[in-house]
């Protein structure tokens, strides 16, 4: 079975694994211990942190290791907003297309009395600067936005977004889960306030992530009376040195290979899309044509239900943008917010390319999906209605 779900998670790189192994049993000390075992672990932790800092061009002590992007986002957004609320800046902005981790934080803030606004995106999933500017005022404390959308690959213009927010005194949290190691990120050049990312998206192990926090904003995150020797007083608990070592090495490798991996994804994306479209009609690409990460392809096979197509294509592992519960079809919240027609949105699949994906893998995926689509369409009354010119958008519930 061919794996094409790299936006969900990646395998741990063999080089990364080898780098980690000594820190499970040989160099196992607590990095806060003062004896040699602890100092050896601390040295390894420092190297890992330095590697991440160099990759994003931050200072050493602006990188906090966490369990992943979800925890990083919670720490950055909730703690900062609670501090800003006391200064009369309790309004929080985000997008309806964000990852569920950010939407959960937004819903929590809303339930806790914060003023939360979900800014509309255009048909490509992009936040237009005019929309952002109209939402900014003296009460806004923070915007949280995904750099590369995990479902569509749409890339936001975070430079312009940050400039606009800072012009109004608004802090910005960037969800870089899908962009770290895939596109160059310079936190100083972009003037990023906070950034979250997970290791398991860049061929590091699961259970490790980072939070970048600009030094001037550390005051919002520090916990009173916390041990400053443990992740600069931001996060408690014994630091998992072995996982941090893996994160540092994986980010270092990914950052060196950004251009090579990007071009690899561009090539395979074209082969895949051309191969599908040359054999099937009513195929749609969801997201931005010009501002996208090529390794994420959100494709709709109109007339097929996404999950049924995913199960019928037995030789590939991909994700579906639809879900069926209680006999009611629901569609991806991302595509819904982009106002993709419901019958197109519910037929979507997310195909994601990794650094080890080959042309042969893509050819198998094309054959598998073409065969599955033709089979399902032959059995589908919806496809018959489409071919007959019936407007079926109202059949599917948003």
Q: What is the pLDDT of residues 132-182, one digit of tens each?
A: 999 999 999 999 999 999 999 999 999 999 999 999 999 999 999 999 999
Looking at residue 327, what is its pLDDT?
A: 47
User: How is domain 12-256 classified at the architecture level of CATH?
Assistant: 3-Layer(aba) Sandwich (3.40)
Annotation marks residue 324 as catalytic: yes
The pLDDT > 70 percentage for the chain reads 96
Q: How far apart, in Å, are the Cα atoms of 70 and each of 37, 45, 100, 196, 381?
A: 31, 21, 9, 8, 41
Q: Does domain 258-395 have CATH number 3.10.20.30?
A: no
Looking at residue 322, what is its pLDDT?
A: 54
Q: Is the pLDDT of residue 325 over 50?
A: no
Q: What is the pLDDT of residues 183-224, one digit of tens each?
A: 999 999 999 999 999 999 999 999 999 999 999 999 999 887
Q: What is the pLDDT of residues 365-384, one digit of tens each?
A: 999 999 999 999 999 888 88
Q: Is 36 exposed, middle or buried (0-12, 13-18, 19+ CB in 10 A)?
A: exposed
SS3 assignment, position 244 = helix
Q: How far apart, in Å, are the Cα atoms of 156 and each of 42, 125, 126, 147, 327?
A: 37, 9, 6, 5, 35
Domain ranges (residues) in the chain: 12-256, 258-395
Cβ atoms of 358 and 302 within 8 Å: the answer is no
Phi, psi of 24 (to 5 degrees): -85, -35
In 72-208, beta strands by DSSP E: 91-94, 115-118, 140-146, 171-175, 194-198
Q: Is the pLDDT of residue 393 over 80?
A: no
Computed over every residue of the chain, the mean pLDDT equals 93
Domain 12-256 matches domain 258-395 at the CATH topology level = no
Phi, psi of 137 (to 5 degrees): -155, -175
Q: What is the pLDDT of residues 64-81, one digit of tens each?
A: 999 999 999 999 999 999
Looking at residue 326, what is its pLDDT?
A: 39
Q: Is the pLDDT of residue 329 over 70?
A: no
Mean pLDDT of 275-283: 97
Mean pLDDT of 285-301: 96
Catalytic residue among 242, 244, 304, 324, which? 324
């Amino acid at each position: 079975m061919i794996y094409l779900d790299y936006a969900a998670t990646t395998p741990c790189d063999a080089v990364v694994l080898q780098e980690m192994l000594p820190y499970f049993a040989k160099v196992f000390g607590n990095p806060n211990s003062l004896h040699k075992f602890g100092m050896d672990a601390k040295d390894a932790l420092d190297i890992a942190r330095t590697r991440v800092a160099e990759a994003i061009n931050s200072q050493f002590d602006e990188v906090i290791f966490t369990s992943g992007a979800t925890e990083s986002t919670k720490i950055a957004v909730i703690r900062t907003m609670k501090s800003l609320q006391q200064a009369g800046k309790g309004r929080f902005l985000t997008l309806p297309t964000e990852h569920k981790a950010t939407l959960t934080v937004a819903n929590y803030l809303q339930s806790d009395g914060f003023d939360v606004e979900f800014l509309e995106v255009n048909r490509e999933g992009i936040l237009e600067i005019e929309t952002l500017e109209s939402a900014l005022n003296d009460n806004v404390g923070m915007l949280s936005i995904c750099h590369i959308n995990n479902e569509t690959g749409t890339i936001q213009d975070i430079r312009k977004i940050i400039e606009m927010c800072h012009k109004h005194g608004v802090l910005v949290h960037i969800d870089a889960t899908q962009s770290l190691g895939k596109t160059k990120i310079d936190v100083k050049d972009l003037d990023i306030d906070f950034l979250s990312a997970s290791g398991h998206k860049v061929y590091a192990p699961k259970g490790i992530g980072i939070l970048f926090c600009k030094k001037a904003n550390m005051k919002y995150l520090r916990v009173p009376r916390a041990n400053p020797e443990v992740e600069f007083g931001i996060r408690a608990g014994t630091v998992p040195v072995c996982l941090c070592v893996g994160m540092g090495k994986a980010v270092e490798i990914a950052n060196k290979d950004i251009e090579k991996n990007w071009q690899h994804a561009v090539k395979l994306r074209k082969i895949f899309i051309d191969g599908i479209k040359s054999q099937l009609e009513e195929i749609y690409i969801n997201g931005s044509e010009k501002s996208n990460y090529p390794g994420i392809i959100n494709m709709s096979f109109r007339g097929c239900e996404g999950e049924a197509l995913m199960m019928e294509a037995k030789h590939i592992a991909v994700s579906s943008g639809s879900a069926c519960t209680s006999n009611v079809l629901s569609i991806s919240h991302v595509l819904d917010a982009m106002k993709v027609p419901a019958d197109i949105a519910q037929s979507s699949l997310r195909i994601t390319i990794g650094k080890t994906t080959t042309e042969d893998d893509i050819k198998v995926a094309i054959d598998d999906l073409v065969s599955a689509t033709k089979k399902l369409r032959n059995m589908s009354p919806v496809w018959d209605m489409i071919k007959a010119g019936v407007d079926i958008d109202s059949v599917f519930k948003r």
